[in-house]
């Protein structure tokens, strides 16, 4: 716990000292690789340094997987997070769901083990140049319908507004080192690689 507290303190100092204009370049740049991945004292899969074991998803009363990692920071401290831009699952677009084909039409490549997670919509790595680390470029939020069209294409005038079909929408990912960071179609993009879950967090006082 003390290490996580130190990370959040240092991050907070970076946020405070560097200011909002610099952060516009990418908030996670200042979190740094080792703010999310703790090389030797990890508490969750992918050598993650934070994990939310307190919040639950109102959909099924559980929370695991990659969304719990994000909420290790993006929740209030009382709810198991670090207080950075808290995201409440009781007021948020569904996460942790197996998509109903009538509500969302998307490639399995955008799901983690068949489930919609934070990373279905966001690619959190500093190499992602998009507004709010979204997987689709939205012209700094002005073209948000283009992002929604990734999964709700029947609702968006994608062809009329952008001359694109859903299958052509560029989806950002950094999860294939062999291909490099960049944009892929939703049928070829990789957002998650399966690796052994071997991390056993040490007990903390
Ligand atoms: C804001 C948090 C965050 C930051 C900062 C971050 N990562 Fe990650 N990283 C993640 C998450 C979440 C995953 C797991 C995604 C998944 O597999 O579903 C991940 C996965 C990875 C993986 C495993 C990829 C795989 O294919 O399994 C590597 C390697 C990695 N990150 C390296 C880095 C490096 C290097 C940096 C610094 C430039 C960095 N990360 C910064 C959140 C972060
Ligand atoms: C180690 C802590 C940490 C983790 C884990 C983390 N973030 Fe962040 N994130 C931050 C901080 C710090 C900020 C900047 C907060 C601020 O400016 O007040 C931020 C900002 C963001 C923003 C806003 C970026 C912007 O341009 O305004 C998004 C989106 C985001 N995070 C998504 C995620 C997602 C998705 C995950 C999980 C894959 C994640 N974060 C995991 C610390 C973290
Ligand atoms: C369905 C897609 C979707 C999912 C799933 C999703 N987000 Fe987001 N998120 C967005 C969009 C779109 C925005 C930008 C909203 C805006 O700027 O109007 C955003 C913004 C954010 C921000 C910045 C908030 C701010 O005040 O600027 C954070 C932090 C964040 N998301 C974290 C998360 C975390 C953590 C999860 C998983 C629990 C998650 N998101 C799941 C689409 C998604
Ligand atoms: C990566 C895929 C993805 C993206 C991008 C996405 N959604 Fe969704 N959306 C889903 C899934 C999956 C569901 C849940 C379907 C279900 O209930 O089975 C959903 C559900 C919804 C619902 C219904 C919520 C409910 O409780 O019934 C609304 C409204 C919605 N999305 C709006 C949006 C908007 C607006 C955007 C763009 C800002 C967006 N979505 C972006 C995948 C996505």
Asked if the model's pLDDT at residue 26 lies above 70, the reply is: yes
pLDDT of 150-183, one tens digit each? 999 999 999 999 999 999 999 999 999 999 999 9
**Which of 14, 5, 54 minimizes the C-alpha distance to 32?**
14
Say how many Å lie between the CA of residue 164 and the centre of ligand 2: 30
Contacts of 32 (CB under 8 A, 6+ apart): none
**How does residue 7 score in pLDDT terms, banded at 50, 70 and 90?**
low
In terms of Cβ atoms closer than 10 Å to its own Cβ (0-12, 13-18, 19+), residue 93 is exposed
pLDDT of 37-95, one tens digit each? 999 999 999 999 999 999 999 999 999 889 999 999 999 999 999 999 999 999 999 99
Asked if the model's pLDDT at residue 20 lies above 80, the reply is: no
> What are the respective helix, strand and coil percentages of the chain, to the nearest 5?
35, 5, 60
3-state SS, residue 171 = strand
| pTM, full prediction | 0.94
Report whether 105 contacts 151 (CB < 8 A). Answer: yes
Confidence (pLDDT) at 204:
62
Asked if the model's pLDDT at residue 12 lies above 90, the reply is: no
Confidence (pLDDT) at 203:
74
Write out residues with Cβ below 6 Å of ligand 3.
67, 70-71, 74, 85, 87, 93, 95, 116, 118, 120-122, 132, 134, 141, 147
Pick the ligand that lies closest to the CA of residue 196.
1
Helices (H), 164-204: none
Cα–Cα distance between 65 and 51 in angstroms, integer? Answer: 9
3-state SS, residue 204 = coil
- What are the tokens at 127? 């190499």
pLDDT of 105-128, one tens digit each? 999 999 999 999 999 999 999 999
Pick the ligand that lies closest to the CA of residue 49.
2
Of 6 and 42, more confident: 42
Cα–Cα distance between 47 and 67 in angstroms, integer? Answer: 15
Report whether 44 contacts 69 (CB < 8 A). Answer: yes
Q: Is 31 in the pocket of ligand 2 (CB under 6 A)?
A: yes
Measured by CA distance, the residue closest to atom 21 of ligand 2 is 27
Measured by CA distance, the residue closest to atom 35 of ligand 1 is 33
Asked if the model's pLDDT at residue 14 lies above 70, the reply is: no
pLDDT of 130-149, one tens digit each? 999 999 999 999 999 999 99
Map out the domains of the chain as residue ranges. Answer: 1-92, 93-193
């Amino acid at each position: 716990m003390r290490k996580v507290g130190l990370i959040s303190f240092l991050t907070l100092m970076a946020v405070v000292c560097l200011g909002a204009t610099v952060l516009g370049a990418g908030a996670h740049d200042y979190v740094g690789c080792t703010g999310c991945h703790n090389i030797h004292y990890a508490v969750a899969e992918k050598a993650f340094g934070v994990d939310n074991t307190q919040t639950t998803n109102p959909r099924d009363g559980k929370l695991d997987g990659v969304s719990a990692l994000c909420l290790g920071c993006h929740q209030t401290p009382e709810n198991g997070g670090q207080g950075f831009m808290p995201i409440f699952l009781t007021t948020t677009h569904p996460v942790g769901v197996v998509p109903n084909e009538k509500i969302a039409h998307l490639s399995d490549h955008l799901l983690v083990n068949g489930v919609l997670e934070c990373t279905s919509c966001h690619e959190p790595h500093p190499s992602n140049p998009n507004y709010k680390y979204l997987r689709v470029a939205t012209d700094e939020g002005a073209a948000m319908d283009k992002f929604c069209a990734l999964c709700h294409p029947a609702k968006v005038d994608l062809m009329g507004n952008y001359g694109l079909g859903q299958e052509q929408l560029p989806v950002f990912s950094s999860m294939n080192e062999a291909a490099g960071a960049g944009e892929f179609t939703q049928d070829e993009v990789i957002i998650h690689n399966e690796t052994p879950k071997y991390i056993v967090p040490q007990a903390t006082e």
